[in-house]
Structure 1
């Protein structure tokens, strides 16, 4: 697994999700990829059209799915976007306060997804987990 100090992924949460989802883990991670790509695009489109209401659902979806895999920084930025969008809907304002977060969203999503997929790849060499065992070469 990647470094415990990795700022993009909470590896304990990732391991828990992997254990809980079992054989479905890779498939559900694939859904996260598909949903995430769609959510990021919808958030960017809503920002361009200054439509706060259109930001709420994709930000909410991205937040929840990110937390499931331990992608805490991604979940936090999605949560900020969602909160700003909800406030703007209530005040009937444009979502311009969310712009700095929306700009950070795609690169953060792509970096995080790359880490998650690399870790989920069964072909990646792993350090042995049991004391005294050596990896097979």
Structure 2
């Protein structure tokens, strides 16, 4: 399911356009996203509908900029539903599954971004030191 959570063409386009600042933007995404998700979860616990809008809007915009459309869609649903509920003076209990999925999807997205940008995470696990020892060729003609 998580294989298609990032539009890699858009991700690479943003990476090229932002140049050296890309890693900084990615770190902002990680920090702001974690903060926004915590705010959304807190707003749900406190049944504070207006407090859902801004953090969901933040995640939506940052996710779209980096090609994380599934994350942006969930954030957009939370934002738009919360806006309607503010106007109708009710709390959006129906968003609980989306808020739970938002956290999981954010963590998976950040993990994939890290794998794509951190060369230490993309290296294969070492199987030993140096060349594989083998005596199969020794002494044969």
TM-score tier after normalising by the smaller chain length: 0.7 to 0.9
Structure 2 residue aligned with 1:95:
92
CA contact under 8 A between 1:84 and 1:97: conserved in structure 2?
Answer: no
Give runs of aligned pairs for residues 52-67 of structure 1, distance below 5 A. 52-67=49-64
Local SS of the residue matching 1:30? helix
Alignment root-mean-square deviation, CA: 1.5
Structure 2 residue aligned with 1:35:
32
Which digits, 9 at most, give the CA deviation of each residue in 1:82-116, with x for residues without a partner? 01110110101012121111111111100011001
Among 56, 66, 69, the alignment partner of 1:69 is 66
CA distance in 2, matches of 1:43, 1:94: 13
> Which is helix-richer, 1 or 2?
2
After TM superposition, what 4+ stretches of structure 1 lie above 2 angstroms from structure 2? 122-126
Structure 2 residue aligned with 1:22:
19
Which digits, 9 at most, give the CA deviation of each residue in 1:17-60, with x for residues without a partner? 10010000111100000000000000000011111100000000
Larger RCO: 1 or 2 (CA < 8 Å, sep 6+):
1
CA distance in 2, matches of 1:49, 1:67: 28
Structure showing greater Rg: 2
CA distance in 1, matches of 2:31, 2:120: 22
Unpaired runs of 5+ in structure 1?
A: 127-137
CA contact under 8 A between 1:74 and 1:105: conserved in structure 2?
Answer: yes
CA distance in 2, matches of 1:78, 1:104: 10
CA distance in 1, matches of 2:122, 2:29: 24
